[in-house]
Structure 1
Amino acid sequence: MSDYFDADQPAVDLTNCDREPIHLLGRVQSFGFLIAVSSDWIVSHVSENIGAFLDIDPDSLIGEPLARHFPQSVIDVVRNRLQSFVNRSSRERLRDVPFEDQNRSFDMTVHVIEETGTIVLEMEPARPSDMAEEELLLVRNALPRLSRHDSHRRLCQDAARYLQFITGFDRVMVYQFLQDGAGEVIAEARQSRLDPFLGLRYPASDIPKQARALYVRQPIRVIADSSEEGMPVLPKRTIDGRPIDLSSSILRSVSPIHLEYLRNMNVAASMSISIIIDGKLWGLFACHHDSPMVADHVKRGVAEMFSELFSLMLSNRLNEEERRSDEEVQRLTNTFSASVSPDSDPIESMFPVLKAISKLLSADGFAVVLDNDRRTSGLTPEPGDLQKITRFLNTASAHTIFSTHKMGEVFFDNDGVERKPAGLLAIPISRSPRDYIIFFRREIVKTVTWAGNPDKPVKAGPNGERLTPRESFASWQQEQRGLSEVWSNKDLRIAEQLRLVILEAVLRFTDEVARERKVAQERQELLIAELNHRVRNILSLVKGIVSQSRGTNLSVDDYIGILDTRIQSLARAHDQITKQNWSAASFHRMVEVEAASYLGESKERVRIVGDDCLLEPEAFATLALVIHEMVTNSAKYGALSASAGHVDITTRMEENGFYSIDWLERGGPAVKAPERRGFGSTIVERSIPYELKGQATVDFELAGLHARFELPPRHVKPAPVQAKKEQAKKNEKATAAKNDAPLEAAYAPSRFLVAEDNLILAMELEDLLLESGAESVDVASNLSDAKAIASKSELDFAILDVNLGSATSFPIGEILAERGIPFGFATGYGEELKVPESLGERCCISKPYDRDTVRGLIRDVLELHRRQTE
């Protein structure tokens, strides 16, 4: 590294890292090897470690045609892939490329160095993986859950959890770059044994400028082992005296400075994935592991794709927040424009809308400077200071919005005088004289928590005094005074919108005094035309977005909500027909469960009388959806939407063997047939005739909806005797009473392990436990990770999926049993649990998870554990 620095350069601090040429270090990590060839396929560079992978001497390759040492089939594969490059900045991945003469296969990454046209091949031993399709499915399943968040912080938190689940790293952080170049950890998913980094800030020098530039060019960065400095690439310099440019290399070795930085943090392996919005680096996914680790070819590709999709989702969320803000400003300014008149006081006319805008900007006061008139509201500077500020603002362009969060430094050179406002946002609203609307923010005395003292003098180290990274990462707090909250880009957008609207009104008043009415009117019309043009452009854009997004009349949230209730209805139906090993179940009971789940304590408003029957499983799910839609629609539009309304259901086993269901709604509002048939109507009217070959009629009578359904004999059979039915009800009431016991008793454990290979189910169970008072939940998707957590972490309870991928979770249970940690099993197959004799008696529940089932499992396991340990 010293070859690229001036020997006389004074040692200052870690910001000198900005000058380190990290893309020209000339080394690669040893988990793979590199070969670079010219456009005519002559080898120009090779990493020194190629002999560890192929029976080839590196010195014999340089200057030779690649075809003399590589199979022609491999070269042909690379040539074909190069044809698909959109531009020279592209990268292509090839999986499991065979070297038949070496009896080896390699995963390969190919890119082209733009400046020289050099083709770079990076290879690493192929790692067998049949998980690619499953991991891509995880990404697809993550998107609906992520899309429901209206806060970008919640979105980032869930994204960190997904990425940790996909990649297996001990810690995954979302690291956002702030306006001053520093970074802050705004979301984190970690193993519970690790100290939290959430909320810590890192100075800008921790990720130098040239590293940020590379993160835009190369969105994924892998460090397999922080204790390894890498293998040289030969020759060390080209004919023009420069090392090979490894800017786009996936194997590129890491600066010794950064390796020391990671070791100081006790990080043995890392992976960083760029979060890029509008072509700019917004932040990073930073993944850490406490032992050396190589994320394989498939996981890197899936992680990179996940980051790209997340970046689009985050961009949409931020744009949506801006859109809502724009709409509110438009509403306020429209009110202002409609309320002003030539006979009114212009400043007084502004005050109501400026007070509303002030709240939108989180400002503590404002001043209006118009001609020689100055009026203020809320927290503002002293009159002398305000005059000095306006004179200073006059030196800037008449169209420039100016903002600062350190007003004392900018306007008064920190002269020692204590001033209440610390932040300022000035909006010019005329050319001459200079008139302004100025918003002010109060001082915020902040205590910022840094990951180590960012200004701590750097000590001498293995890489020289000026380049040694911070050794301590203990949190260090710094008090900041004389500053306000920073004005965000959203604030500046609001200011620009306000400037356009206010300018039109102010010009209308000031120009009537200074110029002839005709000139003032022309300027007003010109400005209005410009404003109309901009509004039309915005409306056209919104219309285009709406048109492109149209495919359903439902919002995403509504769609997810409706879909969720229908899935829950199916889940309830599934529970009832699986209680007796996929056997027929009671129709009356199904109606009661559906009414209770939707209406709660008002379930008695759905009254069912007549003959019960047992529905065969294939008919039960279909009819459960029909009843769900009927209850839902009645609660929204029919009898159940009114306090006095009710539904009477009469059932009868007909002589011909058919089972009839008569649904009658009364006491609700007048009903009429819907103008459009949606998915719910289709379920009600067509599913029974189409799927069960029965009959369905729906009449929208004025007094209330009347529906009749008939099921063929093959789907129904008589219900058991009344005594058995009453006993079943008693059993259900007893179970409900048990599950309604105090929550605190069921959730006494606070530190959980969840071993579950289904991402969605794992996250739902994690949320359920956290919402119910758990302190920490460690989630593992495979046997290896779960065993590591079970062995190392402090745990109070564990829930283990019996079938964990291609293995069982019994070895995890043996570790937990040896440590005396209570645990239970979960299964998705409904079979009776059979565990090894060494584990003894164990409790088990069936999936999907719900609050009562999990609560019951925890209670039963703790009771069993208590008996076994007495």
Structure 2
Amino acid sequence: MDHDRSCTAQSVRDYLVLPDRVDLNNCDREAIHIPGSIQPHGALVAVTREDGIVRMTSANAAEVLGVPAVMDRPLRELVVDVSPPGLASSVRTTGAVRQLQTVMTQDGRQLDAVLHRTQSMTVVEFEPAADELSLGRLLAQVSEAGAALDGRSLEDAWQIAATTVRRLTGFDRTMIYLFNEDGHGTVVAEDRRLDLDAFLGLQYPASDIPKQARVLYLRNWTRHIVDSAAEPSPVLPALIPGTDEPLNMALAQLRAVSPIHLEYLRNMGVVTSLSMSLVSDKQLVGLVACHHYTRRHVSFAVRSACELLARLLSEQLARATGLTREEEERERRAVQLGVLRHVAEAGSPERALEAIAAQTLDVFDASAFMGKLGDTVRTHGPVPVDASEIVRMLEDQPDEDLIEVQHLSGLADPESGGVLVVRVGHAPATSFLAWFRPPVTMTTTWGGDPTEGLEANGDRLTPRGSFSAWSETVRGRCEAWRERDRRMATTLQRALATGEAGLRGEDQDVSTVIDALTTYARDLERANAELRAAAADREEMISAVAHDLRGPLRTMSGFVGVLGERFADTDDPMATRLVERVTGGADHMAQLLNGLQRWGRLGSGISLVTVDLTDAVDTVLQSLGASLETSGATVRVGPMPVVNGDPALLRELIQNLVENAVKYRDPERPLEIGITSEASRGSTVLSVTDNGVGIDPADVEDIFRMFRQLRPGQSEGIGLGLALVSRIAERHQGHVWVDSTLGVGSTFSVKLPLPTKEY
């Protein structure tokens, strides 16, 4: 079927910033989610879900699939299914979450087919499949890296991730790149070829990654650019048949690349790149960025494995960020209560401001303080400006209750530093608190001069051409005010909103104070709800990636089975060992994926019903009968209560604890397991005791973390059992702990409160 390309280009002109017009002036407005073309190393078709007929296709699809024509043909006629459930079924059922199938072309080439739904179409992308025999090594490396990440400091985790991703992909350079609050980014970890210049510690301007690209990184966690010099293949027709809409390729793996970004890569000498998102609290906080200086295609399976690592890294970052925010929240509450107490005891604006200065200077890392309540002004330390200047700032910006300045240019000496001002009360009130920071000399080392890029003819801005380390020194500015400072200032503003009126002698009643406290409590609950939602999103994403990896795993297992049968009658011990190693890796990865999906499902709500723990324990012991008999275990069960909980999750909790006792039994003596319970202030404490090898006190803090095994390689499993026990206990508003003596045995106890509502 022929298409008039000139007409096609004209029909999408309203939707696209055309490549010959894209430069640094308009790249942040470029519609990169509807480029109208794909990278040519693969092919794309869009089919109607009802009948599986191809309605849109990349111009190179016939060549990639090895067929004479693609348009208006059923998908089943173009390729042969290799992995279940098959393309025809997947086209009808796939959703916005991508789905992977393995197919074979008519001439025997194996391809990955990645499906997702957009608008009224199901998009199927084809690209070369992974070498199946290499998947065993891939899966083993992912499992090892997941275990290595857990429990490490963020700095160590960054380096482990960079090294692992480079080993998985074979790229010349892998970097962990984190964004600052101003949007600029810093390379915090790197693994590279030794002959390459180091990028570690370099900063890159926010403009290197435009706003719309950051939005897409939140929707599509991986971005693979195979050849920065390749000509894209157009998708035809340009508009979805029967509509005036171009195909939205936000989730497409093969989506064509912005011309300005391709120019940026070529200026760096980069031919192939791969990026994975780092996300915390639904915000893009960084990237795992990989560069290769010759053409290199990374299969979907390898990209999925790298994405899983990025998600685990994001989870660790989110956990650390959550702990930091909890500490900040405790600090804010303590400062708020301290300020309110001192204001209440002060009796006068003068004494109140003196107390605030004493309590908050260190909190804001400030060198000076100025406060104004009504007509009373107090200062502490070397204040560089007069109170009237701060009042003028507030009057000039009546809509702002919080003003931050890094450089008091025009208000004071050029070397005077900066100020953070919070209005006390609402505009036009001019009462305020202000903290001053001294100037510092700041030197930033950029990856190239960020201002470079104006071509000689001056009519077009382009990406900079040099990326050598370029240092910039700034004087007279203070250290940047952070989000933590802004939140603390806002907290103090609320704390003083009612107290300030009382200090000036104005009337206020109890209802005013109650209203202020109610507002604060409502804001706190909203923040908690946002944190719960972010945790649920992370768990859902982990489950989705685990699902993605099942496709290549099933394919690999099938091929290894065929190889095993082929070598069964040969005398080649090396071939037999290789097949056994790959089979073992596949089995181990299957356990890992099952565990990850169970972990992900724990993020969803659980329904609490009455559960008889006697029945739950009996069911578990019956299912583990063969294992207990083989280990020679004697199990004693005490009286069990009736509790409220999720029956399946409580059975899994008990089973994991019993299996742990079997796994870490002492071979020098018969295994004895005791399962008991006792009441504790309206809660039930369920305990599983064994006489196994016990736990070294140094390891106690680690055993409930994901992928952590006390004896890696010496016992079966993947290190998720006790982590799941801890998570299940948390979902029941309880917790787990262990008392253990090395060489004597262990007692794992789970406190299960009796909740009265669903979570």
TM-score category, normalised to shorter length: 0.5 to 0.7
Question: Which residue of 168, 175, 178 corresponds with 2:170?
Answer: 168
Shift of 1:532: 6.3
1:144-543 equivalence runs, <5 A: 145-150=148-153, 152-235=154-237, 244-342=247-345, 344-383=347-386, 386-394=387-395, 396=397, 400-408=401-409, 412=410, 418=414, 420-429=416-425, 433-459=429-455, 466=460, 468-510=462-504, 513-515=505-507, 519-528=508-517, 530-531=519-520
Counterpart for residue 597 of structure 1? none
Question: Which residue of 34, 40, 43 corresponds with 1:33?
Answer: 43
Shift of 1:271: 0.1
**TM-score, normalised relative to structure 1:** 0.55
Partner Cα separation in structure 1 for residue 111 and residue 481 of structure 2: 51
Shift of 1:147: 4.1
Q: Quick check: 1:98 aligned with 2:104?
A: yes
SS at match of 1:102: coil
Q: Aligned pair in 2 of structure 1 residues 210, 82: CA closer, same or farther (>3 Å)?
A: same
* AA in 2 matched with 1:295: V
* AA in 1 matched with 2:482: S
* AA in 2 matched with 1:471: G
> Residue 333 of structure 1 contacts residue 353 of structure 1 at CA under 8 Å; is this kept in 2?
no
Tell me the number of residue pairs that the alignment of Structure 1 and Structure 2 aligns: 545
Deviations 1:672-713 (A, max 9, x none): xxxxxx99xx99x994763599xxxxxxxxxxxxxxxxxxxx
Partner Cα separation in structure 2 for residue 29 and residue 244 of structure 1: 15
Q: Quick check: 1:77 aligned with 2:86?
A: yes
Partner Cα separation in structure 2 for residue 417 and residue 257 of structure 1: 42
1:558-573 equivalence runs, <5 A: none
Partner Cα separation in structure 2 for residue 374 and residue 540 of structure 1: 40
Counterpart for residue 108 of structure 1? 113
SS at match of 1:313: helix
* AA in 1 matched with 2:390: I
Partner Cα separation in structure 2 for residue 542 and residue 208 of structure 1: 27
Q: Aligned pair in 2 of structure 1 residues 263, 348: CA closer, same or farther (>3 Å)?
A: same
Q: Aligned pair in 2 of structure 1 residues 245, 466: CA closer, same or farther (>3 Å)?
A: farther
Partner Cα separation in structure 2 for residue 133 and residue 184 of structure 1: 34
1:488-637 equivalence runs, <5 A: 488-510=482-504, 513-515=505-507, 519-528=508-517, 530-531=519-520
> Residue 430 of structure 1 contacts residue 506 of structure 1 at CA under 8 Å; is this kept in 2?
no
Partner Cα separation in structure 1 for residue 125 and residue 21 of structure 2: 37
Shift of 1:112: 2.0
Q: Aligned pair in 2 of structure 1 residues 79, 55: CA closer, same or farther (>3 Å)?
A: closer
Cα-Cα RMSD: 4.4
Q: Aligned pair in 2 of structure 1 residues 366, 397: CA closer, same or farther (>3 Å)?
A: same
> Residue 421 of structure 1 contacts residue 442 of structure 1 at CA under 8 Å; is this kept in 2?
yes
Q: Which runs of 5+ in 1 are unaligned?
A: 547-677, 694-758, 765-870
Partner Cα separation in structure 2 for residue 537 and residue 134 of structure 1: 45
Larger Rg: 1
> Residue 379 of structure 1 contacts residue 421 of structure 1 at CA under 8 Å; is this kept in 2?
no
Question: Which residue of 669, 682, 700 corresponds with 1:690?
Answer: 669
Partner Cα separation in structure 2 for residue 16 and residue 545 of structure 1: 33
Shift of 1:174: 1.9
> Residue 401 of structure 1 contacts residue 428 of structure 1 at CA under 8 Å; is this kept in 2?
no
Partner Cα separation in structure 2 for residue 10 and residue 123 of structure 1: 28
Partner Cα separation in structure 2 for residue 330 and residue 7 of structure 1: 50
Shift of 1:262: 1.4
Deviations 1:209-232 (A, max 9, x none): 332222222211101222322333
Of the structure 1 ranges 27-36 and 139-148, higher mean CA displacement relative to structure 2 is found in 139-148
Partner Cα separation in structure 1 for residue 480 and residue 432 of structure 2: 20
* AA in 1 matched with 2:442: K
Partner Cα separation in structure 2 for residue 98 and residue 544 of structure 1: 41
Shift of 1:285: 1.1
Q: Quick check: 1:45 aligned with 2:56?
A: yes
> Residue 155 of structure 1 contacts residue 314 of structure 1 at CA under 8 Å; is this kept in 2?
no
Counterpart for residue 62 of structure 1? 71
Partner Cα separation in structure 2 for residue 15 and residue 472 of structure 1: 19
Partner Cα separation in structure 2 for residue 292 and residue 241 of structure 1: 36
Shift of 1:302: 0.9
SS at match of 1:434: coil
Partner Cα separation in structure 1 for residue 234 and residue 524 of structure 2: 59
Shift of 1:252: 2.0
1:657-696 equivalence runs, <5 A: 687=666, 690-691=669-670
Shift of 1:249: 1.5
Of the structure 1 ranges 26-35 and 140-149, higher mean CA displacement relative to structure 2 is found in 140-149
Q: Aligned pair in 2 of structure 1 residues 283, 686: CA closer, same or farther (>3 Å)?
A: closer
Partner Cα separation in structure 1 for residue 19 and residue 43 of structure 2: 35
Counterpart for residue 557 of structure 2? none
Partner Cα separation in structure 1 for residue 388 and residue 329 of structure 2: 31
Partner Cα separation in structure 2 for residue 50 and residue 227 of structure 1: 20
> Residue 422 of structure 2 contacts residue 490 of structure 2 at CA under 8 Å; is this kept in 1?
no
Deviations 1:391-446 (A, max 9, x none): 331455688333233443xxx4xx89525132324242567753211112222332
Partner Cα separation in structure 1 for residue 126 and residue 520 of structure 2: 57
Shift of 1:298: 1.4
Partner Cα separation in structure 2 for residue 72 and residue 12 of structure 1: 41
Shift of 1:26: 3.1
Q: Aligned pair in 2 of structure 1 residues 84, 491: CA closer, same or farther (>3 Å)?
A: farther
Q: Aligned pair in 2 of structure 1 residues 254, 525: CA closer, same or farther (>3 Å)?
A: closer
> Residue 347 of structure 1 contacts residue 368 of structure 1 at CA under 8 Å; is this kept in 2?
no
Shift of 1:65: 3.8
Partner Cα separation in structure 2 for residue 253 and residue 12 of structure 1: 14
Deviations 1:196-243 (A, max 9, x none): 112222233322233222222221110122232233333456666775
Partner Cα separation in structure 2 for residue 53 and residue 350 of structure 1: 74
SS at match of 2:286: strand
Of the structure 1 ranges 399-408 and 290-299, higher mean CA displacement relative to structure 2 is found in 399-408
Q: Quick check: 1:123 aligned with 2:126?
A: yes
Q: Aligned pair in 2 of structure 1 residues 358, 144: CA closer, same or farther (>3 Å)?
A: farther
* AA in 1 matched with 2:491: Q
Q: Aligned pair in 2 of structure 1 residues 445, 394: CA closer, same or farther (>3 Å)?
A: same
Q: Percent identity?
A: 29
1:787-802 equivalence runs, <5 A: none
Partner Cα separation in structure 1 for residue 182 and residue 371 of structure 2: 30
> Residue 185 of structure 2 contacts residue 205 of structure 2 at CA under 8 Å; is this kept in 1?
yes
SS at match of 2:404: strand
Partner Cα separation in structure 2 for residue 366 and residue 524 of structure 1: 27
Partner Cα separation in structure 1 for residue 532 and residue 47 of structure 2: 50
Deviations 1:5-43 (A, max 9, x none): 999999996233223333343332233222222333332
**TM-score, normalised relative to structure 2:** 0.62
Shift of 1:109: 0.6
Q: Relative contact order (C-alpha < 8 Å, sep 6+): which is higher?
A: 2
Of the structure 1 ranges 65-74 and 260-269, higher mean CA displacement relative to structure 2 is found in 65-74
